[in-house]
Structure 1
């Protein structure tokens, strides 16, 4: 593995796009291969996961991780973007008749699996084109409802017309759309005014570095920099021998052996894995493999 391969936990500031952050990281680290695992809207702040070097090939492993946010929504106004950057499409002063108990019940009713229509200005595709591109041309995209799960949603503060809340959601969930739908449940409509991503899977924003401090984070080996297997703490792993490593280099499978699951995960350590397995030598990633018929088949090989 190249020494520049790993995962960076970055605290994105407001005003920058996720692509802006990637460009900053490339300059700061002097590394061309940098990519993120999921965007944040420009007005939003918080945790952005950036993969560096060969680890850019691992982006798909991160897409299924749940995400946690703290957000503020304002009742009484809907916008075309479902957030504060958009144009007002409706206003309703009915929020004045609401109380905290009604609001808390409305948010709680959103907990669990359900369907969500993505925001009009989103990266979802409609007719082969990004929804936001259509919307900017004045064409309203027809977006299908997607199944999402709201694992947790808790009211932190009610200061009408604003509601501050914390939520943990499945991948693909738009918190902007969640605020929009809660506003409609309550009657007067709503839009999102602030959003901070506080966690992605096992990674916390508290451990992230600012874009200006990422080079120091790497050289000082701070908690914001996760090289090798530290970048994949939730992925089951299997240690390989030198002989097996040579086989893996040529794309050959190895016996399933003793697959170790992360602490706190369900299942027996040696159970047949149905998900990806990291093949490693100590803390160095050798390959990502798929379990099948009692063997592990390399899908992405990193061994030199």
Structure 2
């Protein structure tokens, strides 16, 4: 069984918990998720099964869309609702939507983030949350991420929600905290939902209840090509198809491809993912080949 399971991850499970459960439900050892969601976050978690595990890094690298809720006036050590309050400040004057919109403009485009201490980012071979739990301090590496879209949705007193379309590696918790600081208040992320990963949307997803109640579970899987539809496509003929299936290098295509790497397809069949050869610029080589 090969394909992408568009899972709606429930609250209370880690992404790894979901992988373990999917392995049992689909009787497959080759299962991998495409971007960690914290246990108390729900939403779109595409899970690759069988041959689809070959595209995990490509699907993980796509943009993600979130609906986040920010609470002003308090900060927590984990930057979300499940941490210990470390700072408080009364919000005496209610903020207007225009106040918030003015600040959101500062966070559109490329921004720098310092990942939260309670995260899986590794420093000197240890995850940051391991330092945090041991009450040890460590310098955290700054990273550049891209906020493609940032839209104010609703506001109620000291709580507001926004939609963010962002690049891989963006910490929405940290985005919430930084927006709060720019508004002049401590803040934390009080709720988060992921509504898309790449082109896989919330409307495409299935729950564990649906999976358990579906006898023909293979029918719930999306084709592998859906996970790489953000890559440009090189169409080949039947003769070239066999070369691709055998993992052979090919000559540079006549058409300039817009992404690197790119998909190679025969009719509607995804054959492989190729890239320009790093040493031989006159040919292309396979990165992944699908049997």
- The verdict on a shared fold, with TM-score over 0.5 as the criterion, is yes
Partner of 2:63: 66
Distance across 2 between alignment mates of 1:217 and 1:70: 33
Question: Retained in 1: the 8 A contact 2:8–2:42?
Answer: yes
1:271 to 256, 268, 272: 256
Partner of 2:28: 31
* 1:42 positional shift: 0.8
Structure 1 gap segments, 5+ residues each = 259-269
Question: Retained in 2: the 8 A contact 1:273–1:291?
Answer: no
Residues 5-24 of structure 1 aligned to structure 2 (within 5 Å): 5-24=2-21
Question: Retained in 1: the 8 A contact 2:76–2:83?
Answer: yes
* 1:54 positional shift: 1.9
* Alignment length (residue pairs): 287
Question: Retained in 1: the 8 A contact 2:26–2:217?
Answer: no
1:300 to 268, 288, 291: 288
Structure 2 gap segments, 5+ residues each = none
Distance across 1 between alignment mates of 2:106 and 2:19: 37
Partner of 2:229: 233
TM-score (normalizing by structure 1):
0.87
* 1:249 positional shift: 4.1
Query: RMSD between aligned alpha carbons?
Result: 2.1
Deviates more, 1:105-114 or 1:209-218: 209-218
Matched, 1:154 2:151: yes
1:221 to 194, 197, 219: 219
Deviations 1:211-269 (A, max 9, x none): 232363964735xx2124233222222233443333334432123446xxxxxxxxxxx
Residues 38-117 of structure 1 aligned to structure 2 (within 5 Å): 38-94=35-91, 96-117=93-114
Change (3 A) 1:210 1:95: farther
Deviates more, 1:233-242 or 1:67-76: 233-242
TM-score (normalizing by structure 2):
0.91
Distance across 1 between alignment mates of 2:92 and 2:106: 18
